[in-house]
Structure 1
């Protein structure tokens, strides 16, 4: 997975919880397989020539019990095996060898902004000469290939069990398409050996970042005591059992007598099967008139395990589970998605698809993709013609373009593509109607201007109006209806509250959007907000319930217990874990035996999820904070220190540790920890802010203000840092600087309540009634006539 500077800053600096901030592994998109591999596989008799190449299809000697390997499936399922061998799943990872390495290792050198590498052969081994973790040039052996089309990456295995991904990749496309070359995955970055993004660092670690989705039946096996990995898998690439689960029972069943009474033909579990759909086209619309219900744990959840942006909570996955029973998916959050839900960052397909009308109607992945080869069921937009009438949609009346070779098709207009990892084009799976009018209003991209880049969005919006008229209500404007609400929320606009409440309370809104609305609502406290979030605790979708649980933070413990204790018995792991986190301070005294049992079980689940990710700073931080809430400061300190030993200077761990030291009066130690964090991560706004507070407590006011200014500058969209900086300047009597800093912060965050309250107070104190009235109106106070301004002023004083 490729992280740019902004994502790196979020990954390293922000003090967020593991399940909402942990980095997500790369999952290869479903594109046609590399031609050379496809040809070799197709020519193989029943795929036999490809089985075993680079370890493909071969059962590992340390595979978990019950797994048999894809080679064991080939005898009874030769057609599926041949199709699978042409897929990117089969070649997601392989042992490095002459038949699997596609890069040019003929003593090729590449340099980029101080980074360099030389790729060469040492007999049968593939080697790289590049800068190691110590900043010195050394030679490393390539252990594995990673991916196949349109690029291939390479891994180096270290003695401590870490596999690390090199930042230089090979473009496997034909030379005529710009391929057959080495390139650097971070073209805008200068990466030194001390940089966390360096190929030897945690952000390029295969064991956590990539392995689950490029191998089968992965067990990470991280030993926190020794900081080593003993990572195992049943199969090196994505094999049959990655989707179907362990097959030993099925193989035994198949050997006979094939007892029909044995459930699932010997498989422990299978994905839920939807009712037979009716895709009959309605002549009036050109699209199917009916949909079908979607059972929990269907095949979409199987695919979502890897084709989504998510964090991992448990390795105990099996077919038929909801994704939230082992993982926590990201929401439609800023930085990941545009305000209207279009993909922005590298988010893969699941969250986009679950926004779509197709998902709501019961469409599954295999309706469009053959599941074993991952090829489309029909070429290009013909795949859409399986359910939609081409005679109606491939017309000038529909698209505004005359049919022909250069006309845009369904995919170009309804699945716009974005490029990741420099050359990897991927299509948005939300199947949305192009909305250049929203581009004008909100700055979101649209498919029309993806092609007509020389024209403004207004030009495209006018064209759409000419084709379809001024009134484009309901379905003609698309299924996704939350763009203005999410955009307003991201800007802190007060009008976002009512719009978000409507989204959260509307069952027909996709669950991923409802969950995002509930999450965004937490920034707009009110009686109505609390009622909406509380109602969402009973939402049928687990992701909405999780957002609602997070929305209980800040409530008195008794209120949290009353509302959340029933969710300790929720059938979904992620829900129970989030409830456990919110109830960490709950004492056991006074609970019934049943209540205590449920709470202790949820606490164990929470700890297990964090220990699974103890190789990450986020996991260590969560464990430490959990122990602190449970009244174990010594255990918390041990976790923070152990994490800092593995991740020196981590701002997340450092800030949490210094907060503990503050509570214990260990101010000198706190400052030392923060200075070390800033030395390692100069751009860590959270560390600068925490150091500023520590210096205030030490009465070193000038130094404190300088650190607070740094925090506000480094995180210009963080209202708390700006607020504290302004208050510090006010407290020191630096009125002009304070006013300038407040004005600057309000220009960036014009609707933030804390900053507006400061500005209101300042206006009242100076007698500027006009400005005070404006701020009071923005804050949603009662009609601020002069008498009310006087009342507000009296209350503030």
Structure 2
């Protein structure tokens, strides 16, 4: 309901939005009719099907059958943080019995299975259509149960409990584990009617609906120059198109659409990529949280030179194309590779290069150039920025390095001295954006000049420049806005979109003049970011052409919020928008929805208290903060608010 209230309050959104939503639904329904299923594809493409059927894509989501369930459901028990779990079978049904710390007992049937290795997770339908991912998972190699979050206390009312919004499969996971998936969340009833063409990542998840292709094949499949009738044509997409397609799932991002975009949809029309932010990445861009490859790869020289996913990975088996260092020496060798002529042709797979014993772990290219971090407890993921180790940056950036990952009894200073001795004439020990971001994460205002240099440097990767622009919003003023204005027309949409917010420092009229053209940008991400920035523009009425673009962009933003109305984060945004329009009742309901979904959101509780205080209802503000402290008893911030309110009474 709050979604409707807030967006209805934005009267400029009303025109054309219903028609757009109805049209999109009709288009999605028509597209869904075009899927034929993987079994149909396999009748002609046998080799590709055989390679795919044991892949992690094929087994990303499977039914809970004897063949697919690997965990011990023969009465195995697991106890963690006062919660006891027993795994049983009842005929053909796999059952999980949970006894909470307070003694309450619940029985859940396993609905389906996520993944195959190195762990397997089990999904439970807690309400009709609503799937949740259970936190006690099966270690396939060790053949034992373990908890994904062993160091966290997660009671049932915590948003991070397995029954909470952050563990909801429909919203957080399914679109990358299914083919032709639509979430179909109803924000009024707070229920899901999700559907998909098939569970698992099938042929059409990458190629698009196959009906037209099948008809073309059945009619003789003539080489008539018309292609193969898929929405995603990999031959024409090139390296960038392929990378963006894979990135749809292999990236940390915010989805704008409901479920899977049609394969072939440009990345920035479907997603907002997470930049190199603290908590997700180290200051030098190395992976920290689970960020899924794309943000790392965009930093790499390999991306810059046109390397694409299928140069290293077989697209059907999803396995590397060669074993060990051989996948790297496809290019990095004395013979080189004619597709990448800028490479130095030399022998890298030798102790003269890596200075480690042959065949040792240190002699593996990935050990030095692709650090590994474990997520979900045991799932090792490698950094795809393919960086040269820089232990010399450790003191200034606080980032880890590959050398002391292995040599954990040594210091970064020792590692830096060793590398300097091996490569005394190296050109790879100069300035690095990691030192700037380390300073900028702590205080973007003091790092302003260095951040501007990064943002305007054509020699830096776009994701690095976009991150610098994001940080510069905190230092925005008229001079900065003018300096960065040329980036609003940069060819890369990631930079264009990131250059919008620093314009908040400009004179309001000047900011509007710079931004209005971006309302008609060809990329959805840029259009919606522009529309959000113009919400408070001092304009009574736009000219007709601009008004039309504004309504379109705001409609797209509205659609993206609607598609994420089951996220607590979305209602924080809605609450902020309502406050900006001085609609305190709508803001209150938005923040109430946040704490209903996740009672641990201190920021939302704080806003509820402030709204009551702003209305002059000090007793109400005290009541809210008391309620908040019952959910967050250790919050010093809420304690301070409570004390201040008591003093004011």
Taking structure 1 as the reference length, the TM-score comes to: 0.72
- Give the CA deviation at 1:343: 0.4
Indicate the residue corresponding to 1:182 in structure 2. 145
5+ unaligned residues in a row in structure 2: which ranges?
A: 1-28, 335-345
* 1:104-146 deviation digits (Å, cap 9, x = unpaired): 1111001122122111111111011114699722111111111
Q: Does 1:213 align with 2:176?
A: yes
Q: CA deviation at 1:71?
A: 1.1
TM superposition shift of 1:313:
0.9
Preserved CA contact (<8 Å) 1:62 1:234: no
CA distance in 2, matches of 1:574, 1:103: 42
The verdict on how the C-alpha distance between 1:495 and 1:401 changes in structure 2, with shifts beyond 3 A counting, is farther
> For each residue in 1:577-606, what CA deviation from the matched residue of structure 2 results, as whole angstroms up to 9, or x when unmatched?
212222223477432111221111122111
Distance 1:688 1:582 in 2: 35
Q: Determine which of 252, 265, 269 is the counterpart of 1:321.
A: 265
Q: State the match for 1:576 in structure 2.
A: 527
The answer as to whether partners of 2:84 and 2:100 remain within 8 angstroms in 1 is: no
1:309 aligned partner = 252
Equivalence for 1:613:
564
Against the structure 1 CA distance between its residues 687 and 82, is the aligned structure 2 distance closer, same or farther, given a 3 Å change threshold? Answer: farther
- Is the 1:135–1:193 contact (alpha carbons within 8 Å) kept by the matching residues of 2? no
Matched with 1:230 is 193
Q: Deviations over 1:236-293 (max 9, x none)?
A: 1111111112222222222114365674422234357466xxxxxxxxxxxxxxxxxx
Match of 1:130 among 76, 98, 101: 98
Alignment partner, residue 251 of structure 1: 214
The residue matched to 1:129 in structure 2 has which SS?
Answer: strand
- Matched-pair contact (CA < 8 Å) for 2:158–2:599: no
Task: Check whether the contact 2:159–2:599 (CA below 8 A) recurs between aligned residues.
Answer: no
Partner of 2:625: 674
The superposition leaves residues 717-738 of structure 1 with CA deviations (integer Å, 9 ceiling, x where unpaired) of xxxxxxxxxxxxxxxxxxxxxx
User: Within 2, Cα distance between the matches of 1:376 and 1:147?
Assistant: 19
Is the partner of 1:594 in helix, strand or coil? helix
Residue 157 of structure 1 is matched in structure 2 by: 125
Separation of aligned partners in 2, 1:392 and 1:118: 55
Q: Residues 16-35 of structure 1: matches in 2 within 5 Å?
A: none
Q: CA deviation at 1:535?
A: 2.8
In structure 1, what is the Cα distance between the partners aligned to 2:232 and 2:263? 6
Q: Say whether 1:700 aligns with 2:643.
A: no
- Whether 1:472 aligns to 2:416 is no
Give the secondary-structure state (helix, strand or coil) at the position aligned to 2:268: helix
Q: Secondary structure at the match of 1:120?
A: strand
State how many pairs are aligned: 609
The 2-side partners of 1:261 and 1:508 are apart by: 43
Correspondence for 2:34 among 61, 66, 72? 66
* 2:412 paired residue among 447, 457, 476: 457
Kindly indicate whether residue 304 of structure 2 is the aligned counterpart of residue 353 of structure 1.
Answer: no
Q: Name the SS for the 1:73 alignment partner.
A: helix
The answer (yes or no) to whether the contact 1:217–1:235 under 8 Å persists in 2 is yes
The answer on whether the counterparts of 1:581 and 1:626 sit within 8 Å (CA) in structure 2 is no
Instruction: Give the superposition deviation at 1:303.
Output: 0.8
Label 1:271 to 1:349 Cα distance change in 2 as closer, same or farther (>3 A).
same
The 5 A counterparts of 1:94-109 are 94-109=62-77
Shift of 1:101: 0.1
Q: In the superposition, relative to structure 1, how do residues 143 and 114 fare at CA in structure 2: closer, same or farther (>3 Å)?
A: same
Counterpart for residue 338 of structure 1: 282
Kept after mapping to 1: 8 A contact 2:470/2:498: yes
Structure-1 separation of matches of 2:559 and 2:415: 52
Normalized against structure 2, the TM-score is what?
0.87
SS at match of 1:529: helix
Distance change >3 Å, CA 569–CA 627, structure 1 → 2: farther
CA contact (8 A) 2:351 2:363 kept: no
Aligned partners of 2:363, 2:468: CA distance in 1, in Å? 34
Q: CA deviation at 1:656?
A: 3.9
Residue ranges of structure 1 left out of the alignment (5+ in a row): 1-60, 174-178, 276-293, 704-797
Q: Give the whole-Å Cα distance in 2 for the aligned partners of 1:683 and 1:549.
A: 38
Select 2:158's aligned residue among 195, 205, 209: 195
Partner Cα distance (1:156, 1:231) in 2: 14
**Cα distance, 1:99 vs. partner?**
0.5
Q: Distance in 1 between matches of 2:222 and 2:617?
A: 69
How many Å separate the matches in 2 of 1:300 and 1:595?
33
Quote the RMSD (CA, aligned, Å): 2.7
Structure with the greater alpha carbon radius of gyration? 1
Report the alpha carbon displacement of residue 419 of structure 1 after superposing the two structures with TM.
1.2
- CA distance, structure 2, for counterparts of residue 646 and residue 640 of structure 1: 10
Contact in 2 for aligned 1:63/1:234 (Cα 8 Å): no
**Equivalent residue, structure 2, for 1:490:** 441
- 2:233 is aligned to 270
Distance 2:85 2:380 in 1: 26
